[in-house]
């Protein structure tokens, strides 16, 4: 049997409730990563009471996740520890590492894991655990020693619940990994209605339809049937162009940082551009791109000193980012508490007034058009 640079590891997360067993996470790590794992280990995250979803078996998609009630934009759907973490690099074919990962799991977790999708053949992945990993694992961030080669820094994690959410090229949910707590949180990218399927994306949704379909077929063994992949050819070409443009839009259109101090630009130039972007995002179902536009729209209204509109957009940003970017949400919550905490509040409005004052003082006195000669001519 060939040797491998990886070592078997097991997390045992103590339950905050003494009556419940610990949560086990099985893993394969390079030995140099072990000292860099979270210390002390976090407590196991409690299961959300009264979840907003259910897992159902469907005729065409096997398992799927459905909302049992309306879920607001940014709302937390589920939080979960992975069942296992493994490197993205394949192991030698005769190595038992993947089977050992499975053997460390409690019986109920192992049995549930074995019901997960496996689109790899036995010839491709001799171990069913490896096939499940190649089909389901989500890329996660870990701590690595500085000398580690970049190609060895790719790791994936599989989740018994989160992996039941199927793919869409216009997903309504996304997943955020948190290393200190060893958890992944699923949250709504847009409002999700009761009864609606909850979906995430397996690929870069800005790719053209043909590339998305080919990638999904090759790596996951299915043909996507989302509404964007079912568009007529002419509409699909328009969709491809829109998605490609959205991918680089902030590089090709006005954005807040440069505009904020450029008084030569109209006050609404960034706002109008970003409102257009939000319409295109809605059209293509690419709600994962919304965050930066919501943030910059709120900042525009802040620097313009429009408190009502600032509050409207900042409140939406906070709701949207509670899970996705909690630090950003906290910053804008502080601004909502007192808008003057934003150091440049109404800066552009103040500058405009000062410029108008200087311009008025610089103008010569108006010409006196009265002439006594006009009266003499009329006499």
Per-residue confidence (pLDDT) for residue 346, from 0 to 100: 97
pLDDT for 96: 86
This prediction's pTM = 0.90
Give the tens place of pLDDT for each residue, 265-295.
999 999 999 999 999 999 999 999 999 999 9
- Cβ atoms of 188 and 73 closer than 8 Å: yes
Task: Please give the mean pLDDT across all residues of the chain.
Answer: 92
Confidence of residue 332 (pLDDT cuts 50, 70, 90): very high
Q: SS3 string of the chain?
A: CCCCCCEEEEEEECCCCCCCCCEEEEEEECHHHHHHCCCCCCCCCCCCCCCCEEEEEECCCEEEEEECCCECCCCEEEEECCCEEEECCCCCCCCCHHHHHHHCCCHHHHHHHCCCCCCCCCCCCCCHHHHHHHHHCEEECCCCCCCCCHHHCCEEEECCCHHHCEECCCCCEEEEEECCCCEEEEEECCCECCCCECEECCCCCCCCHHHHHHHHHHHHCCCCCCCCCCCCHHHHHHHHHHHHHHHCHHHHCCCHHHHCCCCCCCCCHHHHHHHHHHHHHHHHCCHHHHHHHHHHHHHHHHHHCCHHHHHHHHHHHHHHHHHHCHHHHHHHHHHHHCHHHCCCCCHHHHHHHHHHHHHHHHCCCCCCCCCHHHHHHHC
pLDDT for the residue 364: 60
Task: Give percent of the chain above pLDDT 70.
Answer: 93
pLDDT in tens, 263-273: 999 999 999 99
Measured from the Cβ of residue 190, the count of other Cβ atoms closer than 10 Å reads 19
> How many CB atoms are closer than 10 A to CB 246?
18
Every domain of the chain and the residues it spans: 7-202, 248-358
Cβ proximity of 53 and 28 under 8 Å:
no
Q: What is the pLDDT of residues 11-38, one digit of tens each?
A: 999 999 888 999 999 999 999 999 999 9
Lowest pLDDT segment from 71-75, 148-152, 331-335, 367-371? 367-371
376 pLDDT higher than 90: no
Integer Cα distance of 232 and 83 in angstroms: 40
pLDDT digits (tens, 9 = 90+) for 158-168: 999 999 999 99
What per-residue confidence (pLDDT) applies to 363? 52
CA distance 83 to 112: 10
Fold (CATH) for 7-202: Beta-clip-like (2.170.270)
């Amino acid at each position: 049997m060939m040797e491998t640079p990886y070592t078997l590891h097991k997390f045992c997360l103590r339950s905050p409730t003494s009556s419940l067993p610990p949560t086990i996470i099985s893993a394969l790590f390079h030995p140099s990563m072990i000292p860099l794992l979270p210390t002390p280990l976090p407590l196991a995250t409690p299961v959300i009471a009264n979840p907003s979803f259910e897992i159902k078996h469907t005729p065409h998609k096997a398992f799927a996740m459905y909302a049992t009630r309306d879920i607001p934009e940014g709302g937390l759907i589920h939080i979960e520890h992975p069942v296992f973490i493994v490197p993205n690099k394949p192991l030698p074919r005769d190595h038992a590492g993947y089977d050992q990962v499975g053997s460390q799991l409690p019986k109920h977790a192992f049995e549930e894991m074995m019901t997960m999708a496996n689109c790899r053949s036995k010839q491709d992945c001799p171990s069913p655990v490896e096939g499940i990993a190649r089909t389901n694992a989500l890329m996660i961030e870990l701590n690595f020693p500085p000398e580690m080669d970049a190609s060895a820094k790719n790791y994936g994690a599989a989740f018994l619940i989160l992996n039941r959410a199927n793919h869409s090229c216009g997903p309504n949910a996304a997943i955020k990994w948190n290393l200190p707590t060893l958890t992944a949180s699923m949250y709504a990218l847009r409002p999700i209605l009761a009864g609606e399927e909850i979906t995430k994306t397996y690929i870069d949704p800005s790719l053209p339809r043909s590339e998305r379909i080919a990638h999904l077929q090759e790596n996951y063994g299915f043909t996507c049937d989302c509404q964007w992949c079912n568009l007529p050819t002419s509409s699909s070409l328009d969709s491809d162009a829109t998605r490609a443009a959205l991918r680089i839009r902030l590089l090709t259109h006005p954005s807040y940082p440069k505009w904020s101090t450029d008084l030569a630009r109209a006050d609404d130039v960034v706002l109008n551009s970003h409102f257009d972007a939000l319409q295109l995002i809605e059209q293509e179902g690419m709600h994962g791109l919304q965050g930066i536009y919501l943030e910059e729209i709120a900042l525009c209204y802040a620097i313009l000193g429009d408190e009502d509109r600032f509050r409207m957009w900042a409140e939406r940003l906070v709701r949207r980012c509670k899970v996705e970017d909690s630090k950003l949400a906290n910053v804008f919550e502080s601004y909502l508490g007192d808008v003057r905490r934003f150091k440049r509040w109404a800066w552009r409005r103040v500058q405009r007034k000062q410029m108008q004052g200087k311009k008025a003082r610089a103008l010569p006195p108006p010409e006196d058009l009265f002439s006594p000669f006009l009266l003499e001519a009329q006499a």
